[in-house]
Structure 1
Amino acid sequence: MAARSRIQIAKQDIFKHLESQASRVFKLSDLQAILSEQRRGWRLAQRTTTQDFIDFLKKQGKLKTLEFPFPHRGETRYVWGAVPLMEILLTLRPGCYYSHYTALRMHGLTEQVPKTIYLNHEQHLKSQSTGGLAQERIDAAFKRKARESNNFIESQGSKIYLINGKNTGQLGVVTESVTYDSDTPVSVRLTNLERTLIDITVRPAYAGGIFEVLKAFELAKQHVSINALAAMLQKIEHTYPYHQAIGFYLERAGYRASQLSLIKRFPMHYDFYLANNMGEVDYAESWRLYVPKGL
């Protein structure tokens, strides 16, 4: 009873402290640290555990527990008050950011309302492969179905993917204020316009498919810098020649010849594919690219 009495006496100070935090989304370790640092000032008994503290905050205050049971390491977050989901999700992994269809919507490059959220957490830096490409390996890889992550959960009416993406040193990742699932602006980390167009070319399945990607290139025409896109593409150093697919999208979306020439500077040593497992195809000779028949 003494412990409850002391925590009740300190109630307003505890709530004020949580309200003053830069983020109102906490990991268990954050709450453990707060309790440890403030215990003496709040005059809480040593037998008051972190779980006691959490239970008190949930019953007497505005603390909620949110579970994110991803197959590859689930996460629990403790949220004080009303915090937008898009802000909470960015705490799930250090340095993660929104990409693909989610970034596409944030940039206003889709007329759809995706029910899927893509959160990208980059892999650890790996040594570059020294193996060269071979046409037969490209053909074999792209005649198979594309690999898609199974690290997703269903939450609040959306399917949330946590992608372990290629390490780019967070190239083209920016912080912007966006409105996504409400009228209230939220400050989020996401891929910029040029990086988003590259990413959805690489993984069209994460952007609603080829036709959605083409539509995005059309909608981006007045805003995207092809100079910046080309420079970024060079820095990322994808194994496969995705520049051929990007060139095709740019041409089909009606970009200027001077813009297309920036992509044509990249070498085209191999035949390539707009997407995996396309079935019947046509061949776009100027880009050495197989595309779905009739596109």
Structure 2
Amino acid sequence: MARLNKFQIMDLYVEEITSALKTKNKYSLKKSQIEEVLSENRFIWKLPNNTTRSEFINYLTSKKEILTSIQFGPMSRIETRYIFKKNNVETDVLAINLYSNSYLSHYSAVTFHDLTDEINKSIYVTHEQSPKKSNNLDKDIHQKDIFLAFSKPMRLTNNYLDYNSQRIYFLNGQYTNKLGVIHRQNLFVTDLERTLIDITVRPQYSGGVYEVLEIFKNARDQLSLNRLAAYLKKMNLKYPYHQSIGFFLERANYKEKSITSFKNKFPIKNDFYLTYDMTGSSYNENWKLHHPKNI
């Protein structure tokens, strides 16, 4: 009887191979994870020692069509993931599983919490960076630095994936140890208070400042300002976004007592800007904030 070749041997163990792959991640896999599966099970599956990762991946993608590859990211660092071809996975579930420590955020979180009537065709995923030591413990920042930062257009991510007629944006977020992230309906997503902070910081990822104001209005009966303030303090953001949040609270007609209580929790030292690259702005004395005229 002729000796079986490596691909015929894989055929004998195809169910075990698929199961082993899914123990690494049932939604998406890196090449390194596929290589781990091969290395950990080569002896058990009686595969020849010269079976390479490329041959194993070729078997999974071309010969058996268990996996299919997707690519995303800026041209300078394209990333590849392998997803199970026959999996019927929701796009947003897949999206948060392409990077570790990821969750739905910004406009996707707004939609999840039913805070907008707008139809959002994109998916926004925050991928938390590793912890970093702060080099600016006192957080003093000069007025000229604030002006320079906000006089330019906001930098937009060029890391995205077009999948199932939707665009998934991957946003690099500062390390927060998933502060305010909840697990609901098989998804990790920012809670209401964290979502309002995120869309204030990056309004362009949630329809712009006019839409952000509408979202604050829609959240009025659900929002915990004490929790939101606690999150802000823990996040220790570089810029005084509490001034922008206070402005939104005021414009959204929150209770004056609640706004005053929130305001008293934070210092107001510098002039700040509601969004980037504004022309013909107005100035709010109460929050020392430059903002578009018609908001």
TM interval, shorter chain, is 0.7 to 0.9
CA distance in 2, matches of 1:79, 1:209: 33
Query: TM-score, length-normalised on structure 2?
Result: 0.86
Name the CA distance, whole Å, in 1 between partners of 2:169 and 2:273.
Answer: 25
CA contact (8 A) 2:27 2:97 kept: no
SS in structure 1 of the partner of residue 43 of structure 2: helix
Aligned to 2:273: 273
Structure 1 Cα separation of the partners of residues 24 and 259 of structure 2: 49
**TM-score relative to the length of structure 1:** 0.86
- Note if contact 1:66-1:79 (Cα within 8 Å) is conserved in structure 2: yes
CA deviation string 1:201-223 (max 9, x = no partner): 11111111011101111111122
Classify the secondary structure of the residue corresponding to 2:282: strand
Q: Tell me, yes or no, if structure 1 residue 119 matches structure 2 residue 128.
A: no
Q: 1:151 and 2:155 equivalent?
A: no
Aligned residue in 1 for 2:195: 196
| Cα distance change of structure 1 residues 42 and 153 upon mapping to structure 2, 3 Å threshold | closer
Contact 2:192 2:223 in 1 (8 A): yes
* Identity across matched positions, percent: 39
| Structure 1 gap ranges (5+) | 178-186
Q: Is the 8 A contact 1:71 1:152 kept in 2?
A: no
**2:64 aligned residue:** 60
What is the distance in 2 between the residues matched to 1:33 and 1:138? Answer: 47
Alpha carbon RMSD of aligned pairs, Å? 2.4
Q: Partner of 2:168 in structure 1?
A: 160
Distance of 1:4 and 1:134 partners within structure 2: 64
The alignment covers a number of residue pairs equal to 286
Paired amino acid for 2:207: G
Moved more, 81-90 or 240-249: 81-90
The 1:47–1:218 alpha-carbon spacing in structure 2 relative to 1, beyond 3 Å, is same
- In the TM superposition, 1:1-295 aligns within 5 A as 2-18=5-21, 23-58=26-61, 59-71=63-75, 73-80=77-84, 81-82=86-87, 83-124=89-130, 125-129=132-136, 130=138, 132-177=140-185, 187-265=186-264, 266-295=266-295
Summarize deviations over 1:112-152 as a string: whole Å, max 9, x none. Answer: 22233222223341314256233343334323322323333
- Paired letter, 2:234: K
Greater shift in the superposed pair: 88-97 or 237-246:
88-97
